[in-house]
Amino acid sequence: MSKSLQATAISSPNIAFVKYWGKRDSALNLPTRNSLSMTLGAPLETKTTVTFDPKLGADTLLMNGKAVEGDGLARACRVLDAVRKEAKLALHASISSSNSFPTGTGIASSASGFAALASAAWAAAGLKWDEKKVSAIARIGSGSASRSIAGGFVIWEKGKKPDGWDSFASSFAPPSHWPELRDLVVVLDDAHKKVGSNAGMQDSVKTSKLYPPYVKEGDRRVEKIKGLILSKNLPSLLEEIMAESDALHAVMADTTPPLYYMNENSKKVAAFVRQYNARVGKTVVGYTFDAGPNAHLITTADRVEELKKEVSKLVPVKAFFVSAPGPGVKVL
Ligand code: DP6
């Protein structure tokens, strides 16, 4: 075990091209389908320091300087418990986490947050780096966090085991495979989502008739998109990304009670993307939406400034963020 029981890690969110929506085990965040994502990078980063300290009587969590309790702290404790079990460690920890991007901008920080936490806790406990295990532990905090551990283009395998150790994410292509690809994040609304993804996805599993075919389609779509990324077939990749986002939001609308995460401006941006591609004469930009109204426009670096200008004319934009494929978690 290392002398100092403290470590710091930096992680970024990821954008799913094939989504995680539904759990076969909600305590361990074990998914019903495989998913595929691109890990993002600067300027979207979370930096987290974990200190195991014999003086502490309980785990504590500070986010951007503010103490967090309730569900946020409970999830963090579950991640710490998994690390303590691996390291045979009985100490409580203090966690201090901050985001480089302003909070409340509608950018989900749970993926980068739990990826940074799992990595920092793993290193602070003196364990030898094991990407698969750290990914599986990040997953316990938030499912999508499993994918932020690895860099570039990533698949999270749903796995079969009840203990979840075979449900982790790994990279199939590094960021250098497609460095000019971009996620242009269009922040349309910075309010907190009304129905969190955890509750929303459980309702979809239970009530949507479109859910079983959506799950069935998932693994085939992961293989297809993986192939399109490896062959760098941009138009077909973007069409498939949009088809997946449309399928997810159809499942959400088919859920009882219906889940409407996209708002009128999200729909305007989606329609604009189709029109823009028609004008150019080929598919050069694709949209994808998660459990919120903000648009992720997947495109190449040369299109970003023009797209920003056109989208700004169309709808009121709170903020833009632009990210290339990122490197995955970094332990400092
Ligand atoms: C729509 O990872 O936030 O963004 O495991 O309950 O924390 P929990 O869910 P979370 O769900 C993300 C859902 C999504 C799709 C995706 O990123 O794959």
Q: Kindly report the protein residue whose alpha carbon is nearest to atom 12 of ligand 1.
A: 144
Confidence (pLDDT) at 193? 67
Whole-number mean pLDDT of the chain? Answer: 95
Asked which of 102-106, 152-156, 269-273, 299-303 is least confident by mean pLDDT, the reply is 102-106
d(CA 40, CA 112): 9
How remote is the CA of residue 249 from the centroid of ligand 1, in Å? 14
Confidence (pLDDT) at 142? 96
Can you list the alpha helix ranges (DSSP code H) found in the chain?
A: 70-87, 110-124, 131-141, 145-148, 197-207, 211-230, 234-253, 264-280, 304-314
Confidence (pLDDT) at 107? 74
Q: At what angle do helices 304-314 and 264-280 cross, to 10 degrees?
A: 130
pLDDT tens digits for range 75-87:
999 999 999 999 9
Residue 160: count of CB within 10 angstroms of its CB: 10
Q: Is the pLDDT of residue 3 over 90?
A: no
Q: Is the pLDDT of residue 219 over 70?
A: yes
Q: Is the pLDDT of residue 1 over 50?
A: no
Asked which of 181-190, 204-213, 221-230, 251-260 is least confident by mean pLDDT, the reply is 181-190
Q: Is the pLDDT of residue 207 over 90?
A: yes
How remote is the CA of residue 142 from the centroid of ligand 1, in Å? 7
d(CA 162, CA 147): 20
258 pLDDT tier (thresholds 50, 70, 90): very high
How remote is the CA of residue 145 from the centroid of ligand 1, in Å? 8
Q: Kindly report the protein residue whose alpha carbon is nearest to atom 8 of ligand 1.
A: 142
Q: Is the pLDDT of residue 326 over 90?
A: yes
254: three-class secondary structure by DSSP: coil
293 pLDDT tier (thresholds 50, 70, 90): very high
User: Which tokens belong to 178?
Assistant: 């497609």
327 pLDDT tier (thresholds 50, 70, 90): very high
Confidence (pLDDT) at 10? 98
Q: Is the pLDDT of residue 190 over 80?
A: no
Confidence (pLDDT) at 105? 64
Nearest to 121 by CA among 157, 100, 165, 91: 91
Whether 143 lines ligand 1, by a CB cut-off of 6 Å, is yes
- Mean pLDDT of all residues in 261-289: 98
Confidence (pLDDT) at 215? 97
How remote is the CA of residue 36 from the centroid of ligand 1, in Å? 12
User: Which tokens belong to 248?
Assistant: 């997810």
Whether 244 lines ligand 1, by a CB cut-off of 6 Å, is no
Close Cβ partners of 8 (under 8 Å, ≥ 6 residues apart): 47, 48, 49, 50, 120, 331, 332
User: Which tokens belong to 313?
Assistant: 């004319």
The residue written with tokens 């409407």 in the block is: 260
d(CA 196, CA 33): 19
Whether 118 lines ligand 1, by a CB cut-off of 6 Å, is no
